[in-house]
Amino acid sequence: MKKILLAIFLMAATHLFGQPALPSAGQPAGRYKIIAYYTGNGETIKQYPVKKLTHIIYSFLKLQHDSLRFHNEAQQQALQQLVQLKKLNPQLKIMVSIGGWGGCVPCSGLFSSAAHRTMFAKTSVALFKQYGIDGLDLDWEYPAIEGYPGHAYDTADKNNFTELVKALRKEMGQEYILSFAAGGFVKYLEHSIDWDAVMPLVDFVNLMTYDLVGGYSTVTGHHTPLKGYRPAQESTQKCVNWLLDKNIDAEKLIIGAAFYARVWENVSGSNHGLYQQGKFKEGVAYKNFSAYFS
């Protein structure tokens, strides 16, 4: 089976950091990526082991008309603080992201226009140059299939996403990093992305191999499983193998790990509560595990 280079990025609701998997024989550690999505400021992050990271993706900037913009002055200052971290960590890349769950309301309509795609690419590169940003991550949830309730989506999104990536790469050249966050479930893999067209143009893809059992589910389960334990179960292994079977470059696959738990209530004790009917209660951050589950 093909080996995958570093397989971790952190879902960034809070300041969470991961450790690299052990390199395979013959694969130098320098080729691995440890990526954190981050929402806070440049001072708070200093209490964490930033030197272990290769990329920080600051999340999320906004789409204003057809341009990439900061939400406010505080966000602009936070990004500038993060860029300053590169002085102490020369290997560190600072990227920005748009979208997220609930953050891509205009994406389907906006990116259906070639003119808007071109303007977005131009304003993005202008922002990179102005602030010393190293690249962009597209977190459109999701092209061509239903995502956040009420968000517009259309089958044409699949091709429009490809055209957006082409416009960005043309404007960015090879000077800047381009990536995207991808749903870790089969419906997304099959319907949202033209993998053959997109993957040669991006530097890597961040696989959202978490939330595979979400708060919408009335049945308990592992929401970020490494392997599937039931027929038709979504899992990291299924997602990765699907892409490898499509001959996607393994070195461009970054596996997402969620450092939070999901909690259900009104669950029977059968099978220790696993795969049982229940009512979703809440999520619990990793830093709160010891107190919550004691």
- Whether the predicted pLDDT of 17 surpasses 90: no
Closest CA to 205 of 167, 160, 249: 249
Query: What mean pLDDT value characterizes the chain?
Result: 88
DSSP-assigned beta bridge partners for residue 9: 35, 256
Contacts of 200 (CB under 8 A, 6+ apart): none
Question: Is residue 207 very low, low, confident or very high in pLDDT (cuts 50, 70, 90)?
Answer: very high
Comparing CA positions, the residue from 200, 203, 184 lying closest to residue 243 is 184
Work out the end-to-end distance of the chain between its first and last CA atoms, rounded to an integer number of angstroms.
40
Which pLDDT band holds residue 30 (cuts at 50, 70, 90)? Answer: low
pLDDT of 27 above 50? no
| Structure token pair of residue 137 | 């991550």
Eight-state DSSP code of residue 24: P
Whole-number pLDDT of residue 16? 30
Q: Is the model's pLDDT at 235 over the cut of 80?
A: yes
pLDDT for residue 28 is more than 70: no
Closest CA to 18 of 237, 255, 226: 255
pLDDT for residue 197 is more than 70: yes
Q: Is the pLDDT at 4 greater than 90, yes or no?
A: no
170 and 131 Cβ atoms separated by less than 8 Å = no
Q: Which residues pair with 204 in a beta bridge?
A: 179
Q: CA–CA separation, 267 vs 280, rounded Å?
A: 10
Q: Report whether pLDDT(24) > 60.
A: no
Check whether 291 has a pLDDT greater than 60. Answer: yes
Question: How far is it, in rounded angstroms, from Cα 28 to Cα 202?
Answer: 22
d(CA 97, CA 182): 13
How do residues 116-155 score in pLDDT, each as one tens digit? 999 999 999 999 999 999 999 999 999 999 999 999 999 9
Mean pLDDT of all residues in 33-57: 91
Tokens of 237: 């292994």
Q: Which of 182, 178, 175, 176 is nearest to 140 (CA)?
A: 182
What type of residue is 107?
A: C
Burial class from Cβ neighbours inside 10 Å (0-12, 13-18, 19+) for residue 216 reads exposed
